[in-house]
Structure 1
Amino acid sequence: MTQFRYIDSHVNLHAPQFAEDQAEVIDRARAAGVDLMVNICDRVSNFDAVYKFAEDHADIWATVGTHPHESRENPDLTTADLLALAERPKVVGIGECGLDFHYDYSPREVQAQVFKAHIDAARQSGLPLVVHTREADDWMAQILSEAHQAGPFKLLLHCYTSGAELAKTCAEMGAWFSVSGIATFKAAEDVRAVIRDMPADRIIIETDCPYLAPIPMRGRRNEPAFVPHVYDKLGEIRGWTLDEVRARTHEAFFKLFDRIAI
């Protein structure tokens, strides 16, 4: 396997927070050793802007999907809509999709309906499902369990901060988990406790930039260049050296995002 220094599995380079200095942000990431990034689609209507980064940069890939906050924008989104866009050669995942009952920016039933379309697209395409879940553990467990019984699909719980029980349920389905800067927050011991029990061969790393900057950058706009801090924290939590963190999380990343040719 090609040796990668750092991989950021979840960036939002098209976000308005980067509008003034996108090129500089990418340059800083590379200078910090970030050799690969996945730019995550927040809504299907924004897909062209998301995908352009993948078209323009050999080290950036993309997903297609609609975040639960935005599901009200197209409640009739179909699996076919997602599959058509997923045919683009540098699309490597379906999502970010899921359920968010903290803000309820979209009606819960609409979130669930749109989420199920994404699950079907992941199953049919073979691409991993990138899932956002917040304060929706019961609904999420039920939807994923029923869907998994209907046929397997690859599953990633991104930036996981939900409960241990949902984590266990998803791990039994073969899910991957990604760790973000939240793991560094002083008040996030409950998150670290779940990270200690995650399957060692199914953990990957992200920034979720421009959000969730890790300590010691907390309070600033997050960037992919800050992802080494998450690597270091994961090593501390799991008792792994940096070389072990790289070996384990990079192998897990490429097993999950297996459309990426290396």
Structure 2
Amino acid sequence: MSTLMNYTYQSFNFRGRKRLRPFYDLIYSIAGEEYGHIEVVSYAINLLLTGTTKRGFDPEPGPLKKATDARNSRHFIASGQASFPMDSMRDWWTGQNVFSSGNLKLDLLHNFFLECAARANKMRAYEMVTDPTAREMVGYLLVRGGVHVVAYARALEQLTGVAVTKLVPVPDLSNKAFPETRKYESSGLHRILYTFSQNDYQQVGSIFNGPHPEDGQPLEVIFGSPEGVPAPDLEEEPQLNAPGSDGIDPDMFAAAAAKMGIKF
């Protein structure tokens, strides 16, 4: 949430957009990807929580009693075992975490350290879990977050002349130490920046270019989005069900849509 909303508001508030267009294009492109990362993390949390309690409609046996041992019981009390914009200790994300100083150099420096700190947190989270769903999510985010670290480092180099990429990776541990990252890096995903628009943000390539600081392979900009995957269709958690929902037939909606000429 912090990376998404920091970059989003920095983009909205960007001044001198014509003169500094490549930096605007960079921040906006990364903001677009961060929105997708929120979705990835939410689905991963939902998958991890699915089936962690006893399924059943009868409240008397205590189908949710396992939730009393959970560190974050809000997932069970205030939702259907699903994600919320909060950290693992139940602290809500708030707009107070938005940093948009109005100074491009300061914003880029903040973003660089924000991505490095997020990378460190992901590594520690990986070491705390063994579930393959959690590790797959963290592995993917390590690779893509690494792209953002390099992108902001290159932007600071362009703006100041300081060789920021010599700091990368921060922390020093390479992504290659994590098995789930290897397939993504072997396909070059660690050095590709997406703009999430085929027509906008055309000047980002003047910043995101040159060799990757770790393996020396060329950085690449793709104008558009990466190929997506279907969202998981999660099973219901029936401890609290919508009245009458058991009788709903999905084909009913498809038939009604067909009559109206709507593709369902």
Above 0.5 in TM-score? no
TM-score when scaled to structure 2? 0.33
Q: Work out which structure has the larger RCO, using CA pairs closer than 8 Å and 6 or more positions apart in sequence.
A: 2
More strand by share: 1
TM-score when scaled to structure 1? 0.33
